Amino acid sequence: MMESSIRARLLGLVLLSVTMVWSIALVWSYRQTIHEVREWDNARLVQIAALLAPLNDGDLARVTATGIDVRNEYSRDPQPEDELDGDKLPRTALVEVRAANGSVIARSAGFDAIAAHARNTANAEGFTSFEVDGAGWHRYATHDAVTGRTTTLLEPTLTHSDLVSGVAGRIARPMLVALPFLAILIWVSIGRSLAPLAALSRAVRVRDATRLDPIEIDPGPLEVRPLVVAINDLMSRLRGSFARERAFTSDAAHELKTPLAAIKVQAQVALLAEDPAQLRLAMERVVQGVDRSTRLAEQLLLLARLDETEKIKASDVDVYEIACEAIAARHADFATKHMTPSLEGTTRSLVHADATLLRILIDNLLDNSIKYCQPGGRVEVRIRHDARTLVLTVADDGPGVSPAERERITDRFFRGTNVTARGSGLGLSIVARIAAYFGAALQLGSGIASRGLAVDVTFASVADTGTHVARSADERPARGVDVLSPHP
């Protein structure tokens, strides 16, 4: 495929447009010239008839005897036979003048032979055209009201005339001569107009991958400025993205270093341990460290997936059903800390999201509450919605987060100053990222009885066709994941 430039394309389009306009103008001028020449021929016959009207009979006889030469041009030198110009060839107009009583005052020789072919025009005034043996003739007749005479003129049609073609040629030649100069002028003008683009291209080309500062060039045309603004905006986003990636990599390396160091220490303890109980304890701590590292790696992979440009497919999912499953799956964790979870909401509370990611969002909120609440604490999951919005709330009565730290609590790897439980600082960051991914709003506030933390996630509501249900962990049936599911 051949490469094309804006300059060459603009030149081609402009020249094509100019050529089309010139062609239309030439055709129009040619047709107008033909029309004007015909009008001039007619005006000449009218003038000749006006000159003949006041002549006496003797003068009319002499005029009709010699004929009236109506050629357009006169030349002293004879013309070559192969280059005959019809405008210079003799053309004689035939004349007939009749008195008021219809008698002929004067008539050119051969007039009757030609006039016989002009059917139905014997007494007609004005202009008519007809043919005699393939040759064209013009007829003009006029009646003089003063003398009562009727004058009729017959003129052979002009052939091989260069008058019209000469006019058209005089119009076309300057255009053809000017076209190359116009092309050069357009080429230079387009080049100067595209100079800001060339400057922008050079400014981008000389940069390396580490230079993401804004591009500064002299003020250019209005059409170039949006491109410069868009490139600088892209540079700004790339700077922010690279900064986040560097911070993310640094924080991830720091967070992974701690469990790996702990695993190494416990592994060394296990190698040196002689007591079976001490060996078992060390190996259990190794397993815990591996679990923590695995959990951290899974969260990092999830964040990377959410940062991808490819959109995750969403569908209508039931928040109440997913919350039931999430609470049931955490039954052992709640039981270990003697905590009481509860769920209040409406069955078939639908939002447009991904079921897996919504489950991860609720799991992280529950894990956060379980991790930081004291034994015997409470966790409430509430789902309320109207025709427009659905709000998922997970609240606890733990130590909570200070208002000053709430603004940063969704940052990656951020942990509060009074936090004692183990964690990676990614849970609420993942919650915030999933919420933003599906257009939901995240709000942090005080938890149960003005203690602890409450996280509100507000989605756009899809439907409300279910039944209100309020359940607690004490109502759970004996079997696993069906706990807290609403009764039919």
Q: Where are the domains of the chain?
A: 6-74+85-166, 225-306, 315-475
Residue closest to 105 by CA, chosen among 168, 155, 55: 55
Q: What is each CA distance from 484 to 338, 425, 473, in whole angstroms?
A: 17, 29, 7
| Fold (CATH) for 225-306 | Helix Hairpins (1.10.287)
Give me the pLDDT at residue 183, please: 81
Rg (CA), the chain: 51
Q: What is the pTM of this model?
A: 0.46
Single-letter code of the amino acid located at 352? H
Which two structure tokens, joined as six digits, stand for 163? 């008058």
Per-residue pLDDT of the chain (488 residues; tens, 9 = 90+): 445 677 778 878 888 888 888 888 878 877 887 777 778 778 888 888 888 888 888 888 888 887 787 776 666 665 554 455 566 777 788 888 888 888 888 888 888 888 887 766 656 788 888 888 888 888 888 888 888 888 888 888 876 566 666 766 777 777 778 778 888 888 888 777 777 777 777 777 777 777 777 777 666 666 677 777 888 888 888 887 777 677 666 656 655 665 677 788 878 888 888 788 888 888 887 887 787 677 667 666 666 666 655 567 788 889 999 999 888 888 888 888 888 889 988 777 888 888 878 888 888 888 888 888 888 888 999 998 887 889 999 998 887 776 666 565 655 545 555 554 454 556 677 788 888 888 888 888 888 887 888 889 999 877 554 555 555 544 443 333 333 433 33
* Res 240: pLDDT: 76
Cβ 322 vs Cβ 362: under 8 Å: yes
d(CA 375, CA 192): 77
Q: Whole-angstrom Cα distance, residue 348 to residue 355?
A: 14
CA distance 15 to 22: 10
Cα(375)–Cα(337) distance, rounded to whole angstroms?
5
6-74+85-166 under CATH 3.30.450, yes or no: yes
Angstrom distance (rounded) from CA 7 to CA 191: 7
List strand residue ranges (DSSP E) for 116-234, in order: 126-132, 135-143, 150-156
- Give the pair of three-digit tokens for residue 371: 């991790």
Question: Which H/E stretch holds residue 193?
Answer: helix 163-193
Task: Name the 3-class secondary structure at 52.
Answer: helix
Q: What distance in Å separates the CA atoms of residue 18 and residue 24, rounded to the nearest whole number? A: 10
End-to-end CA distance of the chain: 66
CATH number of this structure's domain 315-475, picked from the four choices 3.30.565.10, 3.40.50.10310, 3.40.980.10, 3.30.70.120: 3.30.565.10
Q: Residue 455, SS3?
A: strand
